[in-house]
Amino acid sequence: MRIINSTGHELKYDNIVRAQNCTLFDDSGNSYLDLESGIWCTPLGHCHPRITRVISEQSAKMIHSGYCYLNPVMDEAAGRILDITGIGDGKCVFLCSGSEAVEYSVKLCRSIFDKPYFLTMKNCYLSAYGLSGERPDNEWIEFDWQNDDSIARIDFSKVAAFIFEPGSSLGLVNFPPKDLVQQIVNRVRDNGGIVIANEVTTGMGRTGKWFGYQHYDIVPDIAAIGKGLGNGYPVSCAAVSDRVLSRFDPYKFHYAQSHQNDPLGATVANEVIRIIEEDNLLDRCVRTGILISKRLLDIKERYGVIKEIRGRGLMLAIEFMSCDSFSVAEVVNEKLLEKKIILVKRPGHEVFRLDPALTIELSDINYFLDNLESIIKDISTSVNL
Ligand SMILES: Cc1ncc(COP(=O)(O)O)c(C=O)c1O
């Protein structure tokens, strides 16, 4: 095998050649239930026919254009994004990955403000690289809202931006309290800073609203959007408000990247938003999330193996009790895989994340939950936790 992943590991599943909604097929005809939407990237399910169609049609017209050529579909997609983000009169730049959208937003902010610090919550994930990936101590303040409720120690006059990741990815689906987030947002803005929302994971309906920050009744100055925006196609976006743009000096900011504002990516983003709207997928996400959570809570009560169920919409986490002799989550993981259900245990945690497509079918949900219950039932009768 001549392929590794970017962290150097061999790939786990062989010859996956086709996918439809939440099902992956290998070349021997086996099928797997994908409850993570790839890497949380396909809110409409794999190979949604409307996305496949617009990719095909736009590819025949123009895939890439270059920095300076406006195409109407870019403007249309930008209009939709500014509308659903609530940013309104701003502007958008289309990029290629979630990391890029966050890093671009942070660098843009750095070019505008002399203030030395970025503020973020501990246990958030922002980017694979750059200022937001490395987060050097002399430029970043990380606030641990789960262990330290004092924001009194933060010198907000030195904070250029609060970068808010509403799902706390490394904290595995923990949602900071609304009043705390609002307090921080107000303090940052009162002191002349801005708010950047990292919506790479929580965006595009994942939590039952378009964006995770909408659970907090705030509108950011910049929204960094990725993953679900392309439903598997690599397009991301930084939606930037007028408040930021009015202070922006293009001669002081250099950011060159060949695939910005490609018409193909904008076309896909535009269609993803239209489908979520037309098919009422935000409502469906809320309803499906409640249905899954209720059954998970029931399983938790019955068998005493699960420690906690957390979630919003279809961004859910199942945390298992710790056990001295073995990892419960690992055993559940292996048994689920025998049933061809893919749910990845988070390394170093007794936690699964569950981020299925918003379009997941009831039969797939029941197949997963019935198997999970029977696996947990077996474990609960064989060990004392
Ligand atoms: C919350 C969050 N932000 C940013 C990123 C980076 O996105 P990408 O992997 O598309 O660069 C991720 C990726 O998992 C993420 O979960």
Atom of ligand 1 nearest to the CA of 167: 1
Distance CA 368, CA 98 (A): 29
Q: Is 96 in the pocket of ligand 1 (CB under 6 A)?
A: no
Strands 194-198 and 222-225: parallel
CA of residue 383 to ligand 1 center, whole Å: 37
Q: Is 288 in the pocket of ligand 1 (CB under 6 A)?
A: no
The residue type at 184: I
Ligand 1 atom 10, closest CA: 98
**Nearest Cα residue to 206 out of 106, 127, 317:** 317
Q: Is 198 in the pocket of ligand 1 (CB under 6 A)?
A: yes
Per-chain mean pLDDT for the chain:
95
Atom of ligand 1 nearest to the CA of 227: 10
Q: Is the pLDDT of residue 171 over 80?
A: no
**Which tens digit of pLDDT belongs to each residue from 248-272?**
888 889 899 999 999 999 999 999 9
Q: Is the pLDDT of residue 7 over 90?
A: no
Could you give all domains of the chain from N- to C-terminal order, each with its CATH number?
A: 16-34+280-382 (3.90.1150.10), 49-278 (3.40.640.10)
| Among 91-105, 144-158, 248-262, the range of highest mean pLDDT | 91-105
Ligand 1 atom 7, closest CA: 98
Distance CA 221, CA 112 (A): 13
Q: Is 106 in the pocket of ligand 1 (CB under 6 A)?
A: no
Q: Environment class of residue 90 by beta-carbon count within 10 Å: exposed (0-12), middle (13-18) or buried (19+)? A: buried
Residue 368 pLDDT:
98
Distance CA 381, CA 222 (A): 51
Ligand 1 atom 3, closest CA: 126
Atom of ligand 1 nearest to the CA of 234: 10
Q: Is the pLDDT of residue 160 over 80?
A: yes
Better pLDDT: 294 or 346 = 294
Q: What is the largest CA-CA distance in the chain?
A: 67
What SS3 state is found at 275?
helix
Q: Would you say 100 and 236 are in contact if contact means Cβ atoms under 8 Å apart?
A: yes
**Which tens digit of pLDDT belongs to each residue from 56-85?**
999 999 999 998 899 999 999 999 999 999
Q: Is 208 in the pocket of ligand 1 (CB under 6 A)?
A: no
**Which tens digit of pLDDT belongs to each residue from 188-238?**
999 999 999 999 999 999 999 999 999 999 999 999 999 999 999 999 999
Q: Is the pLDDT of residue 175 over 70?
A: yes
Q: Is 126 in the pocket of ligand 1 (CB under 6 A)?
A: yes
Which of the four pLDDT bands, split at 50, 70 and 90, describes residue 149? low
Atom of ligand 1 nearest to the CA of 226: 10
What SS3 state is found at 318?
strand
Give Cα separations from 338 to 9, 19, 198, 334, 335 (angstroms).
Answer: 22, 19, 35, 6, 5
Atom of ligand 1 nearest to the CA of 165: 1
Residue 385 pLDDT:
63
**Nearest Cα residue to 244 out of 261, 223, 229:** 223
Q: Is 201 in the pocket of ligand 1 (CB under 6 A)?
A: yes
Give residues with Cβ within 8 angstroms of 350, minimum separation 6.
307, 319, 320, 321, 322, 327, 328, 329
Q: Would you say 101 and 110 are in contact if contact means Cβ atoms under 8 Å apart?
A: no
**Which tens digit of pLDDT belongs to each residue from 228-242?**
999 999 999 999 999
CA of residue 200 to ligand 1 center, whole Å: 6
Q: Which of 36, 104, 122, 227 to mutate to test the pocket of ligand 1 (most atoms within 8 A of CB)?
A: 227
